[in-house]
Amino acid sequence: MMIVAGIDVGGKNVHIVIKKDGQILGKVSGPTGIKKAETVEQLYNELLKKAGLTRKDVERVVATGSAAKRVAFANGAIPDAAADARGVIKLIPTARTVIDVGAEEGRSIKISADGKVLDFAINEKCAAGTGTFVEAMSRALEVSVDEMSKITLQSTQTLSTNAQCAVFGESEVVSLIHQKTSKPDIARAVMNAIAGRVASVARIVGLEKDVVMVGGMARNAGFVDSLKKNIEMDVLVPEDPDYMGALGAAEAAIAGVYAEEVKAKGIGKRDRFRRERLIILGNSIV
Amino acid sequence: MPKYKTKGLDCWGKVKQLREKYYKDYGEAHDRGALRWEGGAWNFDAIPQALEGEVHALTEEPYGASIGFDKAKQVRFQEAAEGKWGCARDLCAYLRNYWGSIVLNEYAFGGPWPHADFIFQNHICCSHATWLQTADEIDGGKIPYFCFDVGAGPYDKIGDRQIRYVVDQLHDGIAFLEKVTKRKIDDAKLAKKVENTYRSCCYWAKVCELNKSVPAPLDEKTMFSLYVLGTLEKSNDAFADFYEKDLYPEVKDRVANKIAAVADERCRMIGDSQPPWGFLNVYRYLEKYGVVSVANLYTFSLIGWWKVNDKGEIVPYPTLKEQGITIKDRDHALWLLAEAELKGKLMWAPFYGADYKVDLVSKIAKQWKIDAGVIHLNRGCEGTAQHQMETKNALAKLGLPVMTFEGNMADEREFDEVRTARMIDLFVTETLGLKKVA
């Protein structure tokens, strides 16, 4: 009997999965918040309790995500794209391209039949290809993200928006509202624009069947529809696509393939100047 | 147990001293009655340096890069250029550092901004076309300015007509220099300076060629500190001697004795464009996995002169001595200088199209036995960032895994260190399948 845990600490949400003998025993998710380490501790304890387990029962814990290194109790960590690849290939062995659009990042990963990362591309330094952008646009439209996803599918005309920048994208949405454009058409324009950004990242690594989409945005049916139309290919969405990082981390724990230097901080020692500067600019440093 | 033996370079201290002296001399030049001039790293410095008496240069790009290395200073200088002078943030990062230095009246190596006596510039990219014009405007608008054009064509399209186009401008440049400085060009000195330029540029190429060896005797991070002298003043007697008499023999000796730059070389990497100067630890981080950057078109041909031989291979351009040439007169000196710059500086070829860059990078990848590529998508330099994705695709066609990361050579605000580390971890552990060296 082997019990393992996979923990994905993303920019917006934490996802945790516990597996026993390869089967999912339990899962939990919650907002990451500012105090990432504390959030992980709290959610992990909650899940253990629900599963009737103690920490000692879990043989290995592997973390992933942008803040994986905040999980001090993990045995190791793996890069988030590697977690995606491992999770997806377990569920969909025919997958060769993984598109992951989360809150803070959009990325495309070319994977081999055994789930190795062959190539990858990431939408860097731009919010216009991420879930955060959709949240901002849904606020401008005064609808929930779920509702925005639904109304996208009701759109009757194709409009184009710039969406090169989250700030100007929002201004553009406001202008369309003032022009009395219907919400479904605006929602579709926003989804098309993000799909365009994500598709261009995917084309950097090449699109090979089967294309699988994971991450929080995979739950957004409107966006997935726009992406399919853009790349002119079918896009498979597994169950619980936002848990894929955690599932992949759990697979790495089962296989015993992970880096053990969990507490390492970036490339070298912390950049004191950068931190001080960010504090001056009012950003929170955790 | 490391795979290879390794040790630091014996000439390391000397290159540091020479660089330090260069900047100190420039700052103190007027105290000694010497002339000061500003220009670019790709300038034909042999010409102004052949003026009678003592003359010192300040080249724009290495000066901007030096500021880029100091993160706190760099942001302060850039904010001065942007906030006080009003330049756009997406302009060349070196240029912004340089302008900021003048705006703040602060020489990066100590003291107030040292005003130049003249500007001798060449047009090599859109930034260089106006860089020192604006610098002069910020500085009061009184510095005599001469600029010549080197846009005569890529290395394989250079004939007598193209060389004459540049040489005639250089004659005009000499007339300008003699007029504004009231000093004469010393033709014997000019011949010596042209010969020095050949030695600096050809011996740097020979040093880079030695890096084909396995293990590589030099890693790229170290090479950055070595090529810098050539970007400061290729015609300098001490610099040319350093390349020919110190560096080249030492690196040759390392190859003969299999002395590696990195003891656990397991993966030979090719880079592209300038690095993010404030974050050179990226290279050391990669070396923890045994990934060593051994080649880069930029690093090779920023000062190195090369030619493509009949077999289609990139080989060092021959020195004047190797060609058996003795400089006869002024026109001959200028001709030889222009000829080698136009035919030998392969780094200018990508300005004429992606095919050139793709071809040259592919040649380097094959000749230098490259295993993988890590490309810095450099937002700080439009010139060297040209065709980067085409380059990635070309390397991929050769079967090489390639990682790209966004950054800026001299603007730390555009580089995300932690995120880049995550991408390197992913690329190295997953795509390359390497583990950290024990």
Question: What pLDDT score was predicted for residue A197?
Answer: 86
B431·A267 Cβ contact <8 A: no
Q: Is the domain of A205 the same as that of A222?
A: yes
For residue A155, list its beta bridge partners: none
How far CA B276 is from CA of B317, B361, B373, B380, B417, in Å, comes to 29, 20, 16, 9, 10
Q: Is the domain of A66 the same as that of A133?
A: no
Question: What pLDDT score was predicted for residue B366?
Answer: 98
Q: What's the gap in Å between the CA of A91 and the closest CA on chain B?
A: 19
**Which long-range contacts link A151-155 to residues 24+ away (Cβ below 8 Å)?**
A151/A183, A151/A184, A151/A187, A151/A222, A152/A184, A152/A187, A152/A188, A152/A191, A152/A221, A152/A222, A152/A223, A152/A225, A152/A226, A153/A184, A153/A221, A153/A222, A153/A225, A154/A184, A155/A182, A155/A184, A155/A185, A155/A187, A155/A188
Percent of the residues in chain A that have a pLDDT greater than 70, as a whole number: 86
Closest CB to A266 among B414, B417, B426? B417
pLDDT of A127 above 70: no
What's the angle, vertex CA B333, arms to CA B331 and CA B337, rounded to 5? 115
What is the reported pTM? 0.86
pLDDT of B201 above 60: yes
Closest CB to A117 among B285, B416, B430? B430
Q: What's the gap in Å between the CA of A5 and the closest CA on chain B?
A: 20
In a domain, B246, yes or no: yes
Neighboring chain B residues of A79 at a CB cutoff of 8 Å: 422-423, 425-426, 429-430
pLDDT of A56 above 50: yes
Question: What pLDDT score was predicted for residue B274?
Answer: 93
Q: Residue range A188-212: average pLDDT?
A: 91
A266·B418 Cβ contact <8 A: yes
Cα–Cα dist B69/B90, whole Å: 19
Kindly give the residue spans of alpha helices, DSSP state H, lying in B328-410. 330-344, 354-367, 388-397
B171 membership: H or E segment, kind and range: helix B160-181
Phi then psi for residue B49, to 5 deg, are -70, -10
State the total domains in chain B: 1
In a domain, A107, yes or no: no
Q: List the structure tokens of A168.
A: 């100007």
Q: Residue range A255-273: average pLDDT?
A: 57
Closest chain A residue to B414 measured between Cα atoms? A125
Neighboring chain B residues of A277 at a CB cutoff of 8 Å: 75
At residue B345, the 3 state secondary structure works out as coil
Q: Residue range A208-227: average pLDDT?
A: 94
**By C-alpha distance, which of A61, A201, A216 is closest to A132?**
A216
DSSP string, A245-265: HHHHHHHHHHHT-SBS-TT--
What's the angle, vertex CA B60, arms to CA B55 and CA B61, rounded to 5? 130
Q: How confident is the model at residue A173 (pLDDT cuts 50, 70, 90)?
A: confident
In a domain, A47, yes or no: yes
Cα–Cα dist A255/A109, whole Å: 21
Q: Are A90 and A4 in contact (CB under 8 A)?
A: no
Neighboring chain B residues of A116 at a CB cutoff of 8 Å: 430-431, 433
Q: Are B218 and B206 in contact (CB under 8 A)?
A: no
In a domain, B419, yes or no: yes
Question: What pLDDT score was predicted for residue A1?
Answer: 76
Q: How confident is the model at residue A128 (pLDDT cuts 50, 70, 90)?
A: low
Q: What is the pLDDT of residues B356-407, one digit of tens each?
A: 999 999 999 999 999 999 999 999 998 999 999 999 999 999 999 999 999 9
User: Chain B residues with CB-CB distance to A under 8 A?
Assistant: 71-72, 75, 279, 281-282, 284-285, 389, 392, 396, 401-406, 412, 414, 416-427, 429-431, 433, 436
Question: What pLDDT score was predicted for residue A166?
Answer: 67
Neighboring chain B residues of A204 at a CB cutoff of 8 Å: 389, 392
Q: Are B201 and B207 in contact (CB under 8 A)?
A: no
Q: Residue range B57-79: average pLDDT?
A: 92
Q: Which residues of A194-206 are buried (b: 16+ CB within 10 A; e: fewer)?
A: bbbbbbebbebbe
Q: Residue range A174-199: average pLDDT?
A: 89
In a domain, B437, yes or no: no
Q: How confident is the model at residue A279 (pLDDT cuts 50, 70, 90)?
A: very low
Percent of the residues in chain A that have a pLDDT greater than 90, as a whole number: 62
Q: Is the domain of A58 the same as that of A152?
A: no
pLDDT of B105 above 60: yes
**Between A125 and B63, where is the model more confident?**
B63
How far CA A218 is from CA of A200, A222, A235, B226, in Å, comes to 17, 9, 10, 50
B420·A267 Cβ contact <8 A: yes
Question: What pLDDT score was predicted for residue A170?
Answer: 78
Specify the CATH number for the domain of residue A46. Answer: 3.30.420.40
Q: Is the domain of A16 the same as that of A58?
A: yes
Residue A206, phi-psi category: left (phi > 0), alpha (psi -120 to 50), beta (remainder): left
In a domain, B184, yes or no: yes
How far CA A71 is from CA of A188, A264, B341, in Å, comes to 38, 11, 55
Q: Is the domain of A215 the same as that of A139?
A: yes
Q: Is the domain of A217 the same as that of A272?
A: no
Residue A70's domain comprises 3-91+241-280
Neighboring chain B residues of A121 at a CB cutoff of 8 Å: 404
Neighboring chain A residues of B427 at a CB cutoff of 8 Å: 120
Q: Residue range B204-222: average pLDDT?
A: 98
At residue A207, the 3 state secondary structure works out as coil
Answer positive or negative: Cα dihedral of B357, B362, B365, B367: negative
At residue A97, the 3 state secondary structure works out as strand
Q: What's the gap in Å between the CA of A68 and the closest CA on chain B?
A: 10
Kindly report which listed range (A169-178, B68-77, B313-322) carries the lowest average pLDDT score: A169-178
How far CA B297 is from CA of A215, B228, B317, B406, in Å, comes to 38, 15, 15, 18
B430·A119 Cβ contact <8 A: no
Size of interface A-B (CB pairs under 8 A): 74
In a domain, A83, yes or no: yes
In a domain, A115, yes or no: no
DSSP string, B406-430: EE-SS-GGG--HHHHHHHHHIIIII
Question: For residue B112, is the peptide bond before it cis, meaning its omega torsion is within 30 degrees of 0?
Answer: no
Neighboring chain A residues of B70 at a CB cutoff of 8 Å: none
Strands (E) located in B11-160: 35-39, 55-59, 118-123, 145-149
Question: What pLDDT score was predicted for residue A125?
Answer: 64
Q: Residue range A72-99: average pLDDT?
A: 95
Residue entry with tokens 């261009």? A200
Cα–Cα dist A115/A84, whole Å: 9
In a domain, B57, yes or no: yes
**By C-alpha distance, which of A36, A147, A22, A14 is closest to A87?**
A22
User: Chain A residues with CB-CB distance to B under 8 A?
Assistant: 66, 78-82, 85, 116-122, 124-125, 204, 259, 261, 265-268, 271, 273-274, 277
B72·A273 Cβ contact <8 A: yes
A273·B71 Cβ contact <8 A: yes
pLDDT of A278 above 60: no
Residue B18's domain comprises 5-431
**By C-alpha distance, which of B254, B205, B211, B264 is closest to B370?**
B211
Mean pLDDT of chain B: 95
Q: How confident is the model at residue A106 (pLDDT cuts 50, 70, 90)?
A: confident
Those residues with Cβ within 8 angstroms of residue B168's Cβ, 6 or more apart along the chain or in another chain: none
Question: What pLDDT score was predicted for residue A261?
Answer: 59
Q: Are B370 and B168 in contact (CB under 8 A)?
A: no
State the total domains in chain A: 2
pLDDT of A276 above 50: no
Q: Is the domain of A230 the same as that of A136?
A: yes
Choose, out of A66, A108, A124, the residue to mutate when testing the contact with B (most B CBs < 10 Å).
A124
For residue A101, list its beta bridge partners: A106
Choose, out of B287, B431, B432, B437, the residue to mutate when testing the contact with A (most A CBs < 10 Å).
B431
Q: Residue range B288-297: average pLDDT?
A: 97
Other beta carbons within 10 Å of B265: 22
Q: List the structure tokens of B101.
A: 């230095």
Question: What pLDDT score was predicted for residue A259?
Answer: 77
Q: Residue range A254-259: average pLDDT?
A: 86
For residue A99, list its beta bridge partners: A108, A213
Q: What's the gap in Å between the CA of A113 and the closest CA on chain B?
A: 13
At residue B120, the 3 state secondary structure works out as strand
Query: β-strand A117-122 against A106-111: which pairing, if any?
Result: antiparallel
Query: β-strand B372-378 against B402-407: which pairing, if any?
Result: parallel
Closest chain B residue to A107 measured between Cα atoms? B423
A274·B71 Cβ contact <8 A: yes
Q: List the structure tokens of B54.
A: 């003592």
Model ipTM?
Answer: 0.72
In a domain, A87, yes or no: yes
Neighboring chain A residues of B420 at a CB cutoff of 8 Å: 267
Closest CB to B430 among A116, A125, A261? A116
B396·A267 Cβ contact <8 A: no
Q: Is the domain of A230 the same as that of A190?
A: yes
Q: List the structure tokens of B258.
A: 């299999």
Q: List the structure tokens of A153.
A: 């599918």
Q: What's the gap in Å between the CA of A268 and the closest CA on chain B?
A: 7
Q: Is the domain of A222 the same as that of A253?
A: no
**Which long-range contacts link A53-59 to residues 24+ away (Cβ below 8 Å)?**
A53/A3, A53/A18, A53/A25, A57/A3, A58/A3, A58/A4, A58/A5, A58/A18, A59/A2, A59/A3, A59/A4, A59/A253
Closest CB to A120 among B71, B426, B436? B426
Cα–Cα dist B276/B406, whole Å: 10
pLDDT of A281 above 90: no
Q: Is the domain of A139 the same as that of A59?
A: no
Answer positive or negative: Cα dihedral of B411, B417, B423, B425: positive
Neighboring chain A residues of B431 at a CB cutoff of 8 Å: 116-120
Closest CB to A79 among B281, B429, B433? B429
Cα–Cα dist B215/B236, whole Å: 31
Choose, out of A274, A276, A278, the residue to mutate when testing the contact with B (most B CBs < 10 Å).
A274
Q: Is the domain of A251 the same as that of A220?
A: no
A138 membership: H or E segment, kind and range: helix A131-141
Cα–Cα dist A88/A214, whole Å: 8
Q: List the structure tokens of A259.
A: 């880096």
In a domain, B396, yes or no: yes
In a domain, B436, yes or no: no
Q: What's the gap in Å between the CA of B431 and the closest CA on chain A?
A: 5
Q: Is the domain of A207 the same as that of A276?
A: no
How far CA A224 is from CA of A13, A120, A184, A216, B306, in Å, comes to 20, 20, 15, 11, 51
Q: How confident is the model at residue B6 (pLDDT cuts 50, 70, 90)?
A: very high
Other beta carbons within 10 Å of B320: 18
